[in-house]
A and B are shown apart, each in its own frame.
Chain A
Amino acid sequence: MSTTYTCNTCVQQFPNSETQREHMKTDWHRYNLKRKVAGLLPIAANVFASKVLQQSEAVPERRQKQITKKEMKYQERMARRVVRPSSPTESQASEFSLGYGSGVDTPTEGDAIHETATNGDESSDVSSSLSEDLNTKLKHLNLDEETLQSVKHLDTDTINKLALRRAIPNTDCVVCGVHNDSVEANVEHMTKKYSLYIPEQKYLTDLAGLMSYLGQKVGLGFECLSCSFVGRSLESVRQHMLMKGHVRIPYESEDEKLELGDFYDFTSSYDKKLPVSDAVANDDEDWEDDDEEINSDDEYDDGMLYTDETGTQLALPSGARIGHRSMARYYKQSLKPEPRDGQATVNAVDIRRPDVRDPAAFREQKKIWKEEKRVANRKDAWELRRNNFQKHYRDELLQ
């Protein structure tokens, strides 16, 4: 009985256990194990060798000291401790981004995670010598003197941290970092892949600006698009957005709308004569639809949004009128329609109807009725008195 020594991961056979054990220790086997875990087929030894060769050629000088996760965390913690008291969290970060060659002209190629990793390498490399680091960093950031003064008090960790941050250009996907040809293509990609919805597209005037803003928010601030979450790194915020489904632009509350206000222009929806104030226009639930109010011979031109003098009626460009809720009870009542001329004429002359009576004659008639009633009452009272004609009380039962 011959025993065979195999490696199922790499699909190999070995004559004895020693060779098998040797095999298990090779990088090739480890690589195939990782592939197996990832659900991929194993690769042959020669293929692996060529891959290794390729990799070593591509990044020979970058193979330097790997920064550990622990160290990264520590650095970030330190950076936060310094940054918080002076509260330059978001605005300062974006200020730096502006000085940083605007980020747009340095499109990131390939894997974003890989890129940040290399950035991290760079900074950790420089952090060994402080003074040199600061100078080169600031030179790199290309800041003017004034900003330099404000930045001076920040310690090196913060600088490092800031150097990690880079605004995502508006042609790159905010979530996966894929580069697209144009801003529109980028929006389309994000819409298709992550169901990103851009609100009020009719009034959107600056799409590129909006996309740049989103890129800055994620790339510089590590901030989630839709909630107040701030990630520790770009990866964390991207993962957060993907996991929570937060790849969306919130557009509900007043603040959220104002945040994006710069990219929009709503003036085309205002009336020239009597513009509806923002508060009224946004206060949708206080208006009730009221189609009956449509009036063709109105003094206003159609196709405008305006309110009437009393401010209780809003006219839409479609011609429909919307009444205010405070008037709801009047709109809700269903009045009997005014009779047509024929019926109205007949009603006006028909003396059987009480409302056609001559008012003067009716008053006279009422006087007569009153007098008749009075006389009748007096007669009744008199007869009542007369009914008791017995002089002395006599009990009927005793008779």
Chain B
Amino acid sequence: MSLARSTALLDEKNTLTSSVTDKYRLAGKITQTCLQHIIQTVLTQYETYTVGEMCRMGDEFLERATTAVYKSVAEKGIAQPVRIEKQEFVGGVSPENGDKFQGGMLAPGDLVKISLGVYIDGYTAQVTQTEVVRHVPNTSAGETEQPLTGSPADAVCASYLASEAVIAYLAQVTDPNPGKAVGVVTGTKIRELVEKIAAAYHVKIVPGSSVRRIRRFLAGQHDIVLERDYKGVLWEVEGEEERALHAVKLAESEAKQESTEGAVCLYEQHIEEEENFTVEAGEAYQVDIQMAAAPQKGAIRLYDFQGYDESGTVINQYGRDFSVTYGLKIQASRKLLSQLEATTSVYPFKLSHVESNVAKARLGLGEILAHQILVPIPVKVAKFVPLAALYEFSKNSKARARDEASKAVPVARNSSSVLLTNDACLRLTGGQAFPPPYVHSAFELPEDVTNLLKLVGHKHGAKVKDVLPGDVDMAPAKEAKMEE
């Protein structure tokens, strides 16, 4: 590809002009409206519909809403098929019609994370909101609504407050007097901020959490691409474990009164080098924070979900790897790939969005997956591994013992897209339209974080403007094809 085109795509198209902001804003509005509908459905009708049905309803909404807008734009649609993940599930739960795993049954007290996203001409808005399923209280019988308490409540609080704090911190870039309140906004400080809040609420940051710059078509939709000029803070599984073990080693050395000079954590070195970026006005960011309750020392590991009957890895979504070119041999595979070329972009997708007959699409899938043209995005569950088990594993590499010691923990997640325009921080998704669920935590926020949150909305300080859900134009519903 020519240098001119790549410069145009990466630099010129990412300048926040009014037309670009309009597209972001519209994507945000559609996302917010869909999220509002789904939250309402989940909270009031979780007994009527299964998780899979609610996901598919959301997908149809997004499909129709994006079809109706920007008729001239070719690349628009669903950036994140609607995912509804309860408790310990952390990724990829968007079941197809007819799948065995339909997302599990929702029960009162469950944490439910609803994720979805929309892109218009590559400008992406994604959102994740955590809700708590509960009984609708019968007020006539004198019942009052009870807040959720305990470690899941801590996770909900921590993830909500951490994402709000990070957005408040990012918004400081748009301050009329930049750097006056908090100084230069850097990646290192973002990491410090999030980890401080996690420590205050005695929860662990779930690997996969990130605060990253998003660009046109590059919204962190999946981790297939290794991005050049990447700006972002990312919590990785191995890294977090390494840090935990490194802390143990340091403690051991101190106990033996040895010098700790030579002991260096490679992961921390990597963080220092990679995450020392500066956030600037004119950029867009995705703040995606996941927290899990962790009663003791240890780390969170992500495991592929094998289904309730242990039948095998459950995969609902796929991503395309464009760096792979391979001449497919099987007719069905070639047909599926040409359908993919026509219907999908760089975002994750469900097979039913490509071919209405999913069984037919799966015919050609094997060869495509075998040659990594498509990369599966499996359903994952978060499990807490105690530090003792991790330490044992580092000594004898017995993975099975470690995995048996692990325990599934509920995860809370909050994700928002923000635009840092020159005069204000435009929050595309989340925000005041979606208040946090009714929970009580025993812990309190550190004072400096509270001060940071107070900075936003101050008379002379940075402002955060929310994109609110509203009426969106809808294309007419597609008529269901008759199956023979």
Q: Mark B200-216, 1 if CB is under 8 A from A, else 0.
A: 00000000000000011
Interface flags, A336-370, vs B, CB<8A=1, else 0: 00011111111111111101100000000000000
A343 to B216, CA, bound (A): 11
Tell whether A349 pairs with B228 under 8 Å between CB atoms, given A340-B74, A341-B9, A342-B75: yes
C-alpha spacing A340/B75, complex, angstroms = 8
Question: Is B136 at the interface (CB under 8 A from chain A)?
Answer: no
- For residue B343, give the distance in angstroms from its CB to the closest CB of chain A: 12
**Which residues does chain B contribute within 8 Å of A346, judged by CB atoms?**
217-218, 225, 322, 346
Is B227 on the interface with A (CB-CB < 8 A)? yes
Query: At the interface, yes or no: B345 with Cβ under 8 Å from chain A?
Result: yes
Docked-complex contact A347 and B75, CB < 8 angstroms: no
Known contacts A349-B229, A351-B226, A351-B227: A344-B9 contact under CB 8 Å: yes
Q: Are B346 and A343 in contact (CB under 8 A)?
A: yes
Interface residues of B in 213-269 (CB under 8 A from A): 215-218, 225-229
A226 to B346, alpha carbons, bound, how many Å? 69
Q: Which residues of A contact B228 (CB under 8 A)?
A: 349-351, 356
Whether B226 lies near A342 (C-beta < 8 A) is: no
Residue of B nearest to A353 (CB): B323
Asked whether B322 lies within 8 Å of A341 as measured between CB atoms, the reply is no
Contact call B218/A345, Cβ cutoff below 8 A: yes
Q: A340-B345, A341-B122, A341-B217 are in contact. Are A347 and B10 (CB under 8 A)?
A: no
Contact B226 A352 (CB under 8 A): yes
Instruction: Please report the C-alpha to C-alpha distance between residue A344 and residue B122 in the assembled complex, in whole angstroms.
Output: 11
CA distance A315 to B75 in the complex (A): 33
Considering only residues 322-343 of chain A, those with a C-beta below 8 Å from chain B are 339-343
Beta-carbon contacts under 8 Å, B47-100 to A:
74-75
Q: Does B5 contact A (CB under 8 A)?
A: yes
In the assembled complex, the CB of B155 is this many whole angstroms from the nearest CB of chain A, namely: 33
Give Cα A350 to B122, complex, Å. 17
A348 to B216, CA, bound (A): 12
Cα distance, A353 to B225, chains bound together (Å): 10
Q: Contacting B1 at CB < 8 Å: which of A340, A344, A351?
A: A344
Partner of B225, one of A340, A341, A344, A349: A349
Instruction: Give the CA-CA distance A341 to B347 in the complex, in Å.
Output: 13
Q: Given A341-B75, A356-B228, A348 and B10 touching (CB < 8 A)?
A: yes
The answer to whether A345 touches B122, judged by C-beta atoms less than 8 angstroms apart, is yes
Query: What are the residues of chain B within 8 A of A344 when measuring CB–CB?
Result: 1, 5-6, 9
Closest to B10 in A: A348
Alpha-carbon separation in the docked complex, A356 to B230 (Å): 14
In the bound assembly, the distance between CA atoms of A276 and B313 in angstroms comes to: 68
The answer to whether A350 and B75 touch (CB under 8 A), given A344-B9, A345-B216, A356-B228, is no
Give A339 to B341 CA distance when docked, in angstroms: 10
Q: Is the CB of B323 within 8 A of A342?
A: no
12 other A-B residue contacts (CB within 8 Å) besides A342-B217, A345-B9, A348-B5: A339-B322, A341-B75, A341-B121, A342-B347, A343-B345, A344-B5, A345-B216, A346-B346, A347-B322, A349-B218, A349-B229, A353-B323
Q: Which residues of A contact B (CB under 8 A)?
A: 339-353, 355-356
5 of the cross-chain contacts (CB-CB < 8 Å) are: A341-B217, A342-B217, A345-B216, A345-B217, A350-B225
Closest 6 CB pairs of A and B: A348-B6, A342-B345, A345-B217, A342-B346, A342-B217, A349-B228
